[in-house]
Structures are given as structure tokens and as C-alpha cells.
Structure 1
Amino acid sequence: MGIQGRSLAVVEATRFRGHDPEYHGYVQLLVGAVIAEAESQGWTVSRLAADDGVDALLTRTETADAIVVMGGEDIAPRFYGGGTGYEGESRHLETADAAQLALVRRAVERETPLLGICRGLQILNVAFGGSLVQHLGEETAHRNHGVPIHEIMASHPVEVEADSRTAELLGSTRVDVQSAHHQAVDAVGSGLRVTGRAADGHVEALEHETAPVIAVQWHPEDPGAPVGQLAALLGHLSIAARIPQATAA
């Protein structure tokens, strides 16, 4: 049963990745973990794909009380003034990009609680005029290279700003994370605050200055993530919506 009927939209770029069955399978694991934890906290969850377009996604999330924007493919460079042909470039889903960008902008405008994960952080940044580092290179702490997809997550620490919502949720200013990204925030979008960085200086957490919107570049939903990290970050949505979290019977 949901939290007083409260609904959570978990939004992916696309539901199906038939070109890469192993990647598709791993995404199902990650999204499933978010849905399971959200339902355990009492949310009624809708799993949605953004590749049906802006109008469809905005209509289907019109009454959502909170939103999670999940990880996925690279954002098309035209949305942040970048060029194509960069090293490590993945396929682009421009229809999904446009839909998620519109969704995040509306969430900020309406002050709808939102959590962005990995690509979700990059979507938040680009939505407000930010740009991306297109490739971090092969020698990076943010992703394991040349390994099977289930081994791609890299473990590394993140320093979190003490006065941030993220630090309050996680109960620490230093957290260990699981990440698998080859892109990162470059210029920071308008109205956003950097609240977490990796040892190499790359942005790992963002928060909107006024709206109840936070995002992390890592994957708290990965099976190797510290216990309780996903639950804590999803707890932001209940706190921001000012509704009680479900408790175990």
C-alpha cells in the first residue's frame, strides 16, 4: 500500500536495449533495486520510459508526487553544446533526452521532489545550462574498463559538503560509492550547487539551491553499494514531500 496514496515515477531513458542483452539485464537489476526499496518505503511506483517523447512523459508524470531519474546512455551533445565523435561515445536517445530534460525543469518549477542517479545527475545539470566532460579516459577511478558488465562498477570515496542535504541523508561527509560513468559535469548549471566531489575533483553530487532536487553521479542501487545508502537517498523524497516513511510491522 502506498504512502497515503503517494506515487513515485521511476523514469528510465528506455525500457529495452535489445542491441546489448548483458547491459539490458544489468539495468533491470539496478532499476529493480530502486523499485523494491521505494515500495518497501511505501511508495506506489510507476516505471516509465522517456523515449515516448516529451508530451507522453509529462502527461504520465503529471500527478507524480516524486520522481527518480535513472542512469543510462550518454546525453546527445547538442543539448549541451558539445560535438560528436568523442572517445567512448555511446548511442544517443535524443527523444528520451528531451523528455527527461523537460521533466526535470518542470520538477524544479513545481518543487516536485526528485532524485537523479548517474545519467540523472547529468540530465539535471544539462537541463539548467550545464555542460559535460565527454570522456574521462581509460585511467579513471569512476569505471572499470575492459571487464564484463557485472564487474564495471568501481569503488571510490566521495567527499560531501557538511551543510548539504546529501550529507544529512547519508549521515557522513565521506562516503564510499559504486560508480560506472565515463562522463562528468563540466560547467555547473544555473541554480545548482556542487555538494560532492571525488578525489580527482570531479562532481559526484548536485543539489538545486531552492527546489527539493538532489542527484548523485554514483549508483546507490548497485548490489555492491554500502548497505542503507539507497534507502537513505530515497528517503529524501519522503522528507521533501513531507510525508511519513513506512515502517516495518
Structure 2
Amino acid sequence: MPTRTAKRLSVVEVTRFRPRDVDYHAYVEVLNSRAVRAAEDAGWSVNRIAAADVGTASLLSLTDASDAIMIMGGEDISPRFYGGAANYPFESQHFETADEGQVSLVHRALRRGTPLLGICRGLQIINVALGGTILQDLGTQTIHKNLGAPIRDIMAAHTVALDSSSRLSADLGVSEILVQSAHHQAVARLGEGLVAVGTAPDGVVEAVEHAEAPITGVQFHPEDPGSPAGQLSALVARLSVRERELA
């Protein structure tokens, strides 16, 4: 049988077009580009796709041959996908086409056993796809975002305690990590099959794992330039879980 020289990873973002918020888009581009580079450095052949720009059918087609999926950060998920209220504090623009496509990706990954990593919004997409809900705003007294700061200074540093029995803790080799985060929403009710394996000092869920499938979500941003060295590469390495288990 022929041997593939590179595993195929789809990095799925929200959109490549944000004319309403150029500064935010530029910062998201930095984060997503760093994730792509880290995956390529780890030997992945990367397919980068913007879910809102292609639609659900094309997104599923373009990612059909992927060995793993990474769902990136971005705007709030539309409340209609988790039964939430409209007009909540700090509500962002919604990209419902991206929401629909990324939720479908999670469903397929679960069915197939495809390794999947969700970052920030990506964790929330995983949770919503599996029937969970979202806490729509963390308020103004928050450790998770530098409210009112320029976008380049929006990330806030805090610790995350990891469940020492979790796969994530085993892979990172620690029970507590320092992270960079910039979110005003969080997990409320956990989706079916998900286990909270990382919490911030205020109790906010910062990492989840599926009890059976190779699906992981982190609420923080390991791809931020200010994140500790090695954090992003360690999380990218988790996407090879299927290959490790079959070896």
C-alpha cells in the first residue's frame, strides 16, 4: 500500500472578509496564520478554509479527506443555535453560515472519530454542536479579556487548572498552565459527552474533552504570540491521536 508523506489538516476559520472591522480582522489573521504555521512545522499538509465564505456543503466537501480538523476563534455564535436570547451585552456580528458549517463538522468528526481541536469560539462550537449552551457575557469584572483595550492588547493572562486525570493534562505534562485569553462568553451547560478538564480561577470552563472521541476544546488562545512557548505545538500534537493509538 502507498504511504502518505503528509497528514491532512483542515484549519477552519470564520471568514476571510471583515470590512466592518479591519483591525480585528488583522489580529485574527495573525492568530490563524500562527496556527497554520505550527501545524505545517509539525508535518501537516494544511488546508485553510473560511466557513462563512464557502457554505456548509462546500465546507464538508473541502474537508472530507482531512485526517484532523482545527476550528479557530472569531465572532459569537448566533444564539439561535443554542436557544439563547438576542441583544445581550457586547454582542458581536454573527456569521450563521459559519456556525452551521462548523457545527456540521463537529457532528461528522464525532461520527468518524476524526481528531478535532477547537480554539476559543471553536470550543463553543463543539459545545453547541453537542447540545450545550453558552453563557452570553461574563460581565465587566472579568479576568478573561482586557475590556476597552486596543485589539493588540486585548489578551489577558491567567492560570488554568487542569484535571490531572485528563488526556490534556497528560499531553501537556502539567496540572496548571498559564494562558492568554480574550473571550466574553463561555460554556454554560456542557454538551453531551463533554467533560470539563480545565477551569480558570473564577470557575469558567477553559478546556473540554469528549469522553470517548478525540475531540478537545480550549477557550484560551495557544496561538497568540504571548502564549507560553510550546503550548500551541503541544495542542497541535494532540491531533495525531488517531495515528498514535493505531500505531
Hey, what's the Cα distance between the residues in 2 that align with 1:204 and 1:118?
Answer: 9
Hey, what's the Cα distance between the residues in 2 that align with 1:4 and 1:239?
Answer: 17
SS in 1 for 2:11: strand
Hey, what's the Cα distance between the residues in 2 that align with 1:229 and 1:174?
Answer: 12
- Counterpart for residue 167 of structure 1: 169
Q: State whether residues 193 and 209 of structure 1, in contact with CA within 8 Å, keep that contact through their aligned partners in structure 2.
A: yes
Residue identity in the other structure for 1:15: R
1:30 has 2:57 as partner: no
Deviation at 1:243, TM superposition (A): 8.7
Structure 1 stretches of 4+ with a deviation exceeding 6 A read none
- Counterpart for residue 115 of structure 2: 113
- Counterpart for residue 41 of structure 1: 42
Hey, what's the Cα distance between the residues in 1 that align with 2:211 and 2:76?
Answer: 25
Q: How many residue pairs get matched?
A: 243
Residue identity in the other structure for 1:135: D
Hey, what's the Cα distance between the residues in 2 that align with 1:178 and 1:3?
Answer: 35
Report the CA distance shift for 1:3/1:195 in structure 2 as closer, same or farther (over 3 A). farther
SS in 2 for 1:155: strand
1:130 has 2:143 as partner: no
1:223 has 2:225 as partner: yes
Q: State whether residues 3 and 42 of structure 1, in contact with CA within 8 Å, keep that contact through their aligned partners in structure 2.
A: no
Deviation at 1:164, TM superposition (A): 0.8
- Counterpart for residue 100 of structure 1: 102
1:64 has 2:30 as partner: no
Q: State whether residues 117 and 218 of structure 1, in contact with CA within 8 Å, keep that contact through their aligned partners in structure 2.
A: yes
Report the CA distance shift for 1:241/1:18 in structure 2 as closer, same or farther (over 3 A). farther
- Counterpart for residue 209 of structure 2: 207
Report the CA distance shift for 1:55/1:200 in structure 2 as closer, same or farther (over 3 A). same
Identity of aligned residues (%): 53
| Alignment root-mean-square deviation, CA | 1.4
Q: State whether residues 161 and 167 of structure 1, in contact with CA within 8 Å, keep that contact through their aligned partners in structure 2.
A: yes
Hey, what's the Cα distance between the residues in 2 that align with 1:150 and 1:3?
Answer: 40
- Counterpart for residue 150 of structure 2: 148
TM-score calculated relative to the size of structure 1? 0.95
Residue identity in the other structure for 2:62: R
Hey, what's the Cα distance between the residues in 2 that align with 1:19 and 1:160?
Answer: 37
| Deviation readout 1:107-133 (Å, 9 max, x if unpaired) | 011000011000000000000110000
Hey, what's the Cα distance between the residues in 2 that align with 1:68 and 1:132?
Answer: 20
Hey, what's the Cα distance between the residues in 1 that align with 2:160 and 2:243?
Answer: 27
Hey, what's the Cα distance between the residues in 1 that align with 2:139 and 2:74?
Answer: 18
Residue identity in the other structure for 2:13: E
Hey, what's the Cα distance between the residues in 2 that align with 1:143 and 1:176?
Answer: 14
Residue identity in the other structure for 1:150: R
Q: State whether residues 214 and 241 of structure 2, in contact with CA within 8 Å, keep that contact through their aligned partners in structure 1.
A: no
- Counterpart for residue 247 of structure 1: none
TM-score calculated relative to the size of structure 2? 0.96
- Unpaired runs of at least 5, structure 1: 245-249
- Counterpart for residue 8 of structure 2: 7
Match of 1:82 among 81, 84, 91: 84
| Deviation readout 1:127-175 (Å, 9 max, x if unpaired) | 0110000000111000001111010000000000001111112111100
Hey, what's the Cα distance between the residues in 1 that align with 2:243 and 2:105?
Answer: 17
Deviation at 1:3, TM superposition (A): 6.8
| Deviation readout 1:184-230 (Å, 9 max, x if unpaired) | 00000001111000011110000011111101000000000000000
Report the CA distance shift for 1:232/1:165 in structure 2 as closer, same or farther (over 3 A). same
SS in 2 for 1:99: helix
- Unpaired runs of at least 5, structure 2: none
SS in 1 for 2:183: coil
